[in-house]
């Protein structure tokens, strides 16, 4: 297949490019390199030393003989160039990662909120309108998030995209299937809820073939393909904006800093290993919907954990201590989360378990690159509201933990 990967320079995008290139597909990376610009803005860098996209593509070619075509293109801003790209290369599938993907970054200031909404909504909508206008019948695979559902669970298992409801009519109750109602908890998550509505419309009006993958928190760094050469290494974010909770625990353990749990740590989240993530994308590609079919929605996750249990797990592996800090997010203190992922299991996914893979992350990544850690970047500082920001800032324990800068 000829596959366009929008956002192919990012954390999940890059290993997806390698995985699908290795499987024999022709890969076109489309990226505006915004994630690298945000590194510059925040003054942070990947823990793993990461080369330019051009250099990575050169190494891949040297290691495998395969080509990764790179197109510097801003999907959100360059609608005409996007159409020209589609018409020239006529991809069979388009994988869409081209969105700002950190919840804390999306909540930093109004500028970051506006940027996240503008970039994400325009990227998705430009792509949809361009597919219709060019008449290219590519299968669109989009990376969404489990976070669209919100985390104040009603105690019900979250189904894969749709909910059966009964509506009262004069003739009695009538069953109907609706998009599972969303309740996003950040501006970032909200943009993925907006995407759902865009997809629903374009599948209905223009018979676009769309798969939306509601992904959990991705953990792990290496895949079989990124391991093939040191310079193919994936990025590893540990800063307070882009670092996921697990990555930040690993880094805190590596530098002898307490693992900082926000609130009670009773938040339950869904997880998936990066190797399973790229495998799921390949499975989704192999199972494309027909024209006229509704949007196909998968929950792309393999297990759920409470944040405080994760902290205990990392503490057991590393001997680190656990510290409880005020939560900068506005969210339920405790929530349950039961998620259906029957579709990927039926397609043959055999998950990598966190309990089995975490030690390798500690040794191969956190300890190996510990000398590159900038301690001042580990704390999460983006607060969800001004009131929370003031409270978090006054907390004595947080102040005592703050590294000298």
Residues that bind a copy of itself (CB under 8 A): 79, 83, 109-111, 113-114, 117-118, 121-122, 125-126, 129-130, 132-133, 135, 154-156, 163, 165-171, 174, 176, 178-179, 181-187, 190, 193-194, 197-198, 200-201, 204-206, 330, 384-386
Tell me if 147 sits within 8 A of 194, measured CB to CB.
no
Short-list 274, 192, 343, CA closest to 17: 274
How many C-beta neighbours within 10 Å does residue 35 have?
Answer: 21
Catalytic residue flag (residue 318):
no
Name the minimum Å distance from CB 393 to a copy of itself. 17
* Residue tagged active-site, from 105, 115, 149, 188: 188
Asked if residues 275 and 221 have their Cβ atoms less than 8 Å apart, the reply is: no
How far apart CA 40 and CA 54 sit, in angstroms, is: 18
Beta carbon of residue 34, minimum distance to a copy of itself (angstroms, whole number): 18
CA distances from 26 to 5, 45, 70, 224 (A): 10, 30, 12, 19
Q: Shortest distance, CB of residue 177 to a copy of itself, whole angstroms?
A: 10
Q: How far is the CB of 207 from a copy of itself (least distance, A)?
A: 9
If the CB atoms of residues 65 and 135 are measured against a copy of itself, the closer one turns out to be 135
We find the least distance from the C-beta atom of residue 386 to a copy of itself, in angstroms, to be: 7
Alpha carbon 29 to chain centroid, angstroms: 17
Question: Of the two residues 206 and 282, which places its CB atom closer to a copy of itself in the complex?
Answer: 206
Nearer to a copy of itself, 193 or 318 (CB): 193
Nearest CA to 98 out of 28, 217, 9 is that of 9
Nearest approach in angstroms of CB 170 to a copy of itself is 7
Check if the beta carbon of residue 130 is closer than 8 Å to that of residue 122: no
Q: Which helix (H) or strand (E) holds 95?
A: strand 93-96
Q: In whole angstroms, what is the distance from residue 300 CA to residue 347 CA?
A: 12
Phi, psi of 402 (to 5 degrees): -65, 125
- Say which of 48, 116, 191, 192 is annotated catalytic: 192
Which residue's entry shows tokens 């991809």?
91
Listed residue (177, 17, 45, 104) closest to 392, CA to CA: 104
Of 16, 48, 145, 226, the catalytic one is 145
Tell me how far CA of residue 148 lies from CA of 133, 189, 230, 347, 400, in angstroms: 29, 6, 35, 24, 35
Beta carbon nearer to a copy of itself, 170 or 396: 170
Radius of gyration of the chain (CA): 21
Residue 188 annotated in active site: yes
CB of 139 to a copy of itself, least distance (A): 19
Residue 185 and residue 191: Cα distance in Å, rounded?
11
For residues 279 and 16, what is the distance between their CA atoms, to the nearest angstrom? 8
Nearer to a copy of itself, 15 or 150 (CB): 150
Bridge-based pairing state of the strands 209-215 and 172-179: unpaired
For the question of residue 145 being annotated catalytic, the response is: yes
Q: Are strands 26-31 and 68-72 parallel, antiparallel or unpaired?
A: parallel
CA distance 232 to 93: 24
106 or 225: CB nearest a copy of itself: 106
DSSP codes, 297-326: EEEE--EEEEHHHHHHHHHHHH---EEEE-
CB closer to a copy of itself out of 183 and 372: 183
Q: Which is nearer to a copy of itself, 36 or 112 (CB)?
A: 112
Q: How far is the CB of 280 from a copy of itself (least distance, A)?
A: 26
Catalogue the active-site residues: 145, 188, 192
């Amino acid at each position: 297949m000829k596959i366009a990967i929008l956002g192919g320079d990012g954390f999940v995008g890059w290993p997806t490019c390698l995985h699908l290139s290795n499987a024999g597909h022709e890969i076109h990376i489309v990226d505006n390199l915004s994630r690298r610009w945000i590194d510059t803005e925040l003054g942070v860098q990947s823990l793993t030393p990461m080369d330019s996209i051009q250099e990575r593509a050169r190494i891949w070619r040297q290691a495998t003989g395969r080509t990764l075509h790179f197109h510097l293109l801003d999907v959100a801003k360059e609608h005409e160039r996007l159409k020209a790209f589609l018409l020239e290369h006529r991809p069979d599938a388009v994988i869409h990662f081209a969105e700002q993907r950190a919840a804390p970054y999306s909540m930093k200031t109004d500028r970051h909120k506006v940027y996240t909404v503008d970039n994400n909504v325009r990227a998705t909508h430009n792509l949809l309108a361009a597919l219709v206008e060019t008449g290219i019948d590519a299968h669109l695979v989009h990376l969404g998030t489990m976070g669209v559902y919100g985390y104040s669970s009603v105690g019900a298992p979250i189904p894969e995209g749709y909910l059966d409801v009964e509506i009262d009519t004069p003739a009695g109750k009538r069953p109907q299937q609706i998009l599972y109602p969303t309740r996003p908890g950040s501006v970032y998550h909200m943009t993925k809820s907006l995407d759902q509505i865009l997809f629903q419309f374009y599948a209905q009006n223009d018979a676009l073939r769309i798969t939306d993958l509601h992904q959990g928190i991705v953990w792990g760094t290496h895949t079989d393909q990124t391991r093939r050469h040191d310079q193919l290494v994936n990025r590893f974010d540990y800063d307070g904006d882009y670092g996921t909770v697990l990555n930040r625990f690993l880094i805190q353990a590596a530098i002898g800093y307490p693992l900082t749990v926000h609130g009670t740590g009773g938040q339950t989240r869904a997880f998936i290993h990066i190797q399973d993530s790229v495998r799921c994308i390949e499975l989704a590609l192999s199972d494309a919907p027909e024209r006229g079919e509704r949007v196909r929605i998968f929950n792309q996750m393999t297990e759920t954990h409470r944040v405080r249990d994760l902290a205990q797990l990392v503490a057991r592996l590393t001997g680190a201590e656990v510290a409880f800090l005020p939560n900068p997010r506005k969210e339920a203190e405790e929530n349950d989360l039961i998620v259906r992922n029957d579709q990927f299991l039926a397609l043959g996914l055999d998950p990598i378990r966190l309990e089995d893979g975490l030690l390798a992350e500690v040794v191969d990544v956190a300890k190996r690159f510990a000398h590159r850690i900038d301690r001042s970047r580990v704390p999460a500082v983006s607060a969800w509201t001004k009131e929370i920001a003031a409270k978090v800032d006054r907390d004595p324990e947080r102040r005592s933990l703050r590294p000298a800068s």
